[in-house]
Structure 1
Amino acid sequence: MKRITFYLDFVSPYAWLAFERLPEVLGGLSYSVAYKPVLLGALLQRHGNPGPAGIGPKRDWTYRHVAWLGHAQGTPLQMPACHPFNPLPLLRQALACSDDGHVNRFVAGSVLRHVWQGGQDALDAGRLAALAAELSEQLRPGQDAASAAPKALLRANTEAAQAAGVFGVPTFEVDGKLFWGLDGLPMLRAYLDGDAWFDGGDWEAVSRVPSGLAG
């Protein structure tokens, strides 16, 4: 059985699309998934990347693209009332349900649906309270979104992701290899199927291609 680490931030529409698509893509395989919430903004900042929401025309395209992708793959997706937003309350709420920085599929799905279904404000106080109630049976004793432990887990998760080379979400890690994005899922499936391409030198060779840009 292969263990897949799924790095995600609930602010990412591609994370929601990949979450819904993953079981179908990996159908018939023996695997387990560890859902690992991270702070996307910190990953982007580390690499000086403003993200698609930081570039006006790219922001518009991204929102159109994910709406169409949701339609195409049959995944309900409505943009929340405002986006981007600060995902910290959601990340900490999820990690209040964790002992080790990973959350189960129920927790991850509950928070993703909170954001990406219904087109409402992801940070509305009443909705956050309803989400906390939905997850109440998953909470670790004495923990909630404001506790110290979830904050520490999020920091550790994000630092671990940075150390592993994760630069965006969703990212899937298996056997030390990283597969980024919704469109990386077919490549992940091919690797898990034992595609001979991965036994050649192409995976490592790309990192040795010299840059033609000065500096």
Structure 2
Amino acid sequence: MKTLDFWFDVVSPYAYLAFERLPQALEGCSYRVRYRPLLFGALLSHWGQLGPAEFEPKRAWTMRQVHWLAREAGVELALPAQHPFNPLALQRLALACGEVEELPNRRVVEALFHHVWRGGADANDPARLQALTQTLRPALDPQRNEVKGRLRAHTQEAIDLGLFGVPTIALDGKLFWGLDALPMVRAALQGDAWFDGPWQEAARARPGVRRR
């Protein structure tokens, strides 16, 4: 049985949609999933990028596209009252609920994504956060230094692996970025020979023009 690392930040609507679609996309495959919280903002800072919601034309397109994709997939989605928002409290809560390998299970991650992407409320409203925490009953206080350290370590591990966005699925040392990579993950799980050779050749650097 293969192990997938599903790297996510609840601030990303694409991560939410990928989470919802994962069981259907990989139906019939033998695998287990480890849900790995990180801070998307730290990835952006490391690579010198802006997030898709940080400049207006891309923000507008992103929200139109994710609503369309959700409608096509039959997934409930409502834009939270503030977006982008700081997901720190929710990502810490995910790790505070860690069980096997100190990672959250699918039920916990689902509750976090639904908290953000269903209902259209403020993801960081104190009363809502308190209610969510009471529902999930984390094993650790999300404000403990141990939990904060775990999140920093997860994020640094993701950077060291070469992650630049969410969702990213890691499988057999390969990284699959984005909602639209789910068919590739399925093919890799099924042993498609393309991932033995052409995978590497397709990404071979070909020197070209560089912007300063």
Please indicate the TM-score interval, normalised by the length of the shorter structure.
over 0.9
State the match for 1:78 in structure 2. 78
Counterpart check, 1:191 vs 2:188: yes
**Identical counterparts, % of pairs:** 53
**SS of aligned partner of 1:207:** coil
**SS of aligned partner of 2:90:** helix
State the match for 1:148 in structure 2. 145
Cα distance change of structure 1 residues 37 and 101 upon mapping to structure 2, 3 Å threshold: farther
Counterpart check, 1:133 vs 2:167: no
| Aligned mates of 2:66, 2:198 — CA distance in 1 | 34
Cα distance change of structure 1 residues 47 and 167 upon mapping to structure 2, 3 Å threshold: same
State the match for 2:6 in structure 1. 6
| Aligned mates of 1:214, 1:195 — CA distance in 2 | 36
Counterpart check, 1:55 vs 2:52: no
Letter in 2 for 1:167: F
Cα distance change of structure 1 residues 202 and 32 upon mapping to structure 2, 3 Å threshold: closer
Q: Which moved more, 1:199-208 or 1:41-50?
A: 199-208
Q: Which deviations, in whole Å up to 9, do the C-alpha atoms of 1:183-214 show, x marking residues without a partner?
A: 01111111111112112234244132223225
Q: Which moved more, 1:187-196 or 1:37-46?
A: 187-196
What TM-score, normalized to structure 2?
0.96
Contact 2:29 2:186 in 1 (8 A): no
Contact 1:34 1:102 in 2 (8 A): yes
Counterpart check, 1:164 vs 2:134: no
Cα distance change of structure 1 residues 119 and 214 upon mapping to structure 2, 3 Å threshold: closer
| Aligned mates of 1:201, 1:148 — CA distance in 2 | 44
| Aligned mates of 2:206, 2:124 — CA distance in 1 | 44
Letter in 2 for 1:2: K
| Aligned mates of 1:214, 1:51 — CA distance in 2 | 20
Shift of 1:134: 1.1
Question: What value does the CA root-mean-square deviation take over the aligned residues?
Answer: 1.3
| Aligned mates of 2:81, 2:132 — CA distance in 1 | 17
160, 178, 182: which one aligns with 2:179:
182
| Aligned mates of 1:145, 1:156 — CA distance in 2 | 15
Cα distance change of structure 1 residues 148 and 203 upon mapping to structure 2, 3 Å threshold: same
Q: Which deviations, in whole Å up to 9, do the C-alpha atoms of 1:84-131 show, x marking residues without a partner?
A: 000001011111112645211011111000000000000001100110
Letter in 2 for 1:77: L
**Runs of 5+ unmatched residues, structure 1:** none
**Runs of 5+ unmatched residues, structure 2:** none
Letter in 1 for 2:48: G
